[in-house]
Structure 1
């Protein structure tokens, strides 16, 4: 390939990334659920005709993007090529073939140029409700957790499956929002397809073969160079999480070889009887994300960059088998990066950030009028974040969603969706782990039912009994706490009640510190006190 051809291919690669960015923005702008529209809990990507991911949108979460990279292959396996037509869109929320739990809807659309299948577009989004027990950890099997949609056609030749819509409408609590999100997902893929065909016509390519081969070959070369520069060997780490009603221990061994990095989760505790289990497809997604953050953060995420990471596990809580309950799989799943990074810290001392809050402090609120009062019912979903761990040379980010990367939902948008009032939402002083570099702060959040209402809420919290550990001499962050405003302590997981006139008070955990606290500069200490991050009396 000539230098001019290579430059041309690089420009087209950037164009392809812009195509999937527009794909994702379509979903953001048309989605009904606040989890998608405001928090960006979604993913979008383009794949070649073999189902290999060529490009992903920057907008989105690793748990969606990296699971979707594998999920597209499941769609290709289940829907024969001679049953794929222009105008088709396929759908599933199968936790083991999609993204790990029923609340995520994955849609895949074949992309045809004329009569030739040239690739696929795929997208995923978290919808507000899928029926069953609702979004929570209380289920005893996946059958209790909501409606299961096998891999099937949402639309064939542009004709939407009306039977599927009728089934959905009778099985979910917020049918207009959910069905609206289904159409948003389908529209997202359609926009990607149209832009791709326009791009190929403009540059005179018949399909994605040449460009796809260029993308994957260049990525493979780049990431193999990075692996070659890593120390070789095997390193282990363990991490304790709160679990549901008893702590759960996670274990990992990271092995860096000549051509791959392998992660094995042997030694991790067995599956739980509660809905905190994690299908392996989701565990793989976050293990690969942690590895890529260290090995090749600047190399594009596609099939070639993911292929060098191998993730395995016996059956346990990180490789849960059907029909295990998995609704809140993200809580344990979000701990996987800290677990893997802890092993890498032994291979690369002084270069890996401290542990952080990790799991989102999601709250699903089911609000209703109090006895004898008039009002409205609503399902409200909030995403909240604790502090990140401190980094080598930098303080941790406060109230930041790592590793998921989702945004915090604006209070105004949250209150608009249901009869609740957010009375307080601010950084939590003294919650960060001390160190030469301070951990990120958690938050204090107070939520109450609106006048004349009460609500049940599903707690999906962690780092209450097991705080985020510091690194290289840094101190642990402060653990979280959930309670009512009268001081009544609440459980970290499961459905619970907030009566009319009471407030739910959440103290989100802080991130661990990095390095010896005695080495923190006097200027940084004074700035922490001035900003109220650390109190005068500490």
Structure 2
């Protein structure tokens, strides 16, 4: 359709359809969350859904994990490329979790299906959610895997439902290869219900407006998005911008950092992101498929260019990406990918760092940057059943020109993901959470202060194991324009006892009932010179226990009359 044809559609109709598409995606997401069986989905919200058109372009996407931004269509495209356009049939539902196609770890399962009106293919619906266990060598996932085969059941694109009938052989294969078949099956069927809801909503929109009007509105929405993004890029001075960061290690060789390098080239109304100079794929599970590197760069781009616009098929037309096959950001088989997200959070912060000289009013200091995972497993004496829990830890975000950073938020990879409420956690798992609070002094100082991390303390009520994946200690969140760096993460086993020990990454540590794990997440970077922060703001921070009086004295040079 021509631009002239697209712009001739009634703007009111365009807005109605724009919001209807996003509302349809939210309906899908609500169906999934309300139907799911495991807290990682129904409490934490580790999921995302999307409606796609017949050309695999995003029509509407729910709030969810930004790291899946513009990524679900990768699965439908890959399926079509492998099997041909004619593979799509009414009533079919597909499943895929291949790390090198979807880009994430095997626990992130994508379920998707075509949408037909009569015999005409009009689009696709897709959902992705974290499954608590997919048969890895350790329950829930391994922090020390060295190849994909240790990480669980790997599924290329295959039919889960064919012509409206369940493919029992595939469903049984999944059930026989996971440790918790009942809740896994429940989550799988919740995802099927989710995409069925999306199918219904898209068919309703076609019936209400007609396919021609719907496609005209789509084209106009895409055109507007592209135009707005090109305008922002055009305002950035042409040039080459660079940033570099490091991961602590790959979880196997704990002494060797992993460099991530980004080059951003702006020319007129186009922008290119190049990560080809980043490290080769690692032995440990810090690798990701190229699709996820692209997704992370899209998140970094969107935070600066179009943060108020929902993602759609018109997004990212002005950007290009360069990812090297065989690198830590473009892994190939059999690279381990279990904890694929650490360098992605780092990369998102690096986009802002690289472009800070050109966009000082839009960038923020770095965030705490990682999911900071605590995973526990064992047998619950209350139920006599095995359990696996997995939780991300919230932390501090960076400050920007005009505001302090937020405290106690999930990292920028995970978006609307939530930590599990204490009441739910203690009900579902044999742990007692004895302490949960803001971690004072963890945010970087500045004219605008970085947000603080949190401290969360777990007491084991039974013998069990704990696995940890805490990152960004070697390079905590940095500040910008004179702002100070934040404090990094810290995990202590049995603090204050004779057997106290500190560890950030571990797989299957054995604990006994009564042992304590104290997890502390880092803060966000500051913005601007700390000497310019008003004394009244520092005083308020001390009163609110965001800062200690000692920190206020050392970092801001202010002696406060507070005990």
| 1:114 Cα deviation from its structure 2 partner | 1.0
Is the 2:469–2:504 Cα contact (8 Å) retained in structure 1? no
Paired position in structure 2 for 1:303:
313
Paired position in structure 1 for 2:463:
454
- 5 Å matches for 1:151-166? 151-166=157-172
Is the 1:386–1:510 Cα contact (8 Å) retained in structure 2? yes
Paired position in structure 2 for 1:36:
41
Paired position in structure 1 for 2:544:
531
| 1:72 Cα deviation from its structure 2 partner | 2.4
Specify whether residues 436 and 151 from structure 1 end up closer, same or farther in structure 2 by C-alpha distance, changes over 3 A only: same
Answering whether residue 223 of structure 2 is matched by residue 217 of structure 1, we say: yes
**Residue in structure 2 matching 1:348, options 353, 359, 362:** 359
Paired position in structure 1 for 2:104:
100
Paired position in structure 1 for 2:66:
62
Is the 1:376–1:419 Cα contact (8 Å) retained in structure 2? no
Specify whether residues 140 and 174 from structure 1 end up closer, same or farther in structure 2 by C-alpha distance, changes over 3 A only: same
Specify whether residues 341 and 56 from structure 1 end up closer, same or farther in structure 2 by C-alpha distance, changes over 3 A only: same
Q: Distance in 2 between matches of 1:104 and 1:374?
A: 28
| 1:528 Cα deviation from its structure 2 partner | 0.5
- 5 Å matches for 1:386-535? 386-403=395-412, 404-405=414-415, 406-450=417-461, 453-485=462-494, 486=497, 487-535=500-548
Q: Distance in 2 between matches of 1:479 and 1:201?
A: 54
Greater CA drift, 378-387 or 300-309: 300-309
Greater CA drift, 405-414 or 520-529: 405-414
Is the 2:476–2:487 Cα contact (8 Å) retained in structure 1? yes
Paired position in structure 2 for 1:260:
270
**Residue in structure 2 matching 1:189, options 184, 192, 195:** 195
Is the 1:482–1:492 Cα contact (8 Å) retained in structure 2? no
Is the 1:42–1:64 Cα contact (8 Å) retained in structure 2? no
Could you state the TM-score of these two structures normalised by the residue count of structure 2?
A: 0.91
| 1:9 Cα deviation from its structure 2 partner | 2.2
| 1:458 Cα deviation from its structure 2 partner | 1.9
Q: C-alpha deviations, 1:173-223, integer Å up to 9, x for none?
A: 111111111111111011011122122222344684333322222222222
Greater CA drift, 1-10 or 408-417: 1-10
Runs of 4+ in 1 over 4 A off after TM superposition: 1-4
Partner SS for 2:314: helix
Is the 1:350–1:472 Cα contact (8 Å) retained in structure 2? no
Q: Distance in 2 between matches of 1:375 and 1:437?
A: 51
Q: Distance in 1 between matches of 2:380 and 2:363?
A: 49
Q: Structure 1: where are the runs of 5+ without partners? A: none
- 5 Å matches for 1:305-324? 305-314=315-324, 315-324=326-335
Partner SS for 2:357: helix
Q: Distance in 2 between matches of 1:109 and 1:477?
A: 44
**Residue in structure 1 matching 2:258, options 244, 248, 251:** 248
Q: Distance in 2 between matches of 1:530 and 1:400?
A: 21
Paired position in structure 2 for 1:275:
285
Paired position in structure 2 for 1:367:
378
Q: Structure 2: where are the runs of 5+ without partners? A: 552-563
Q: Distance in 2 between matches of 1:127 and 1:165?
A: 14
Q: C-alpha deviations, 1:425-483, integer Å up to 9, x for none?
A: 11111111111111111111111222xx1221221111223211111111111111111
Is the 1:106–1:125 Cα contact (8 Å) retained in structure 2? yes
Q: Distance in 2 between matches of 1:37 and 1:300?
A: 23
Greater CA drift, 60-69 or 170-179: 60-69
Is the 1:19–1:195 Cα contact (8 Å) retained in structure 2? yes
Is the 1:367–1:419 Cα contact (8 Å) retained in structure 2? no
Instruction: Give the aligned length.
Output: 533
Paired position in structure 1 for 2:240:
234
Q: C-alpha deviations, 1:296-315, integer Å up to 9, x for none?
A: 21233112212322121223
Partner SS for 1:391: coil
| 1:4 Cα deviation from its structure 2 partner | 6.6
Q: Distance in 1 between matches of 2:352 and 2:508?
A: 32
Partner SS for 1:186: helix
Q: Distance in 2 between matches of 1:352 and 1:493?
A: 34
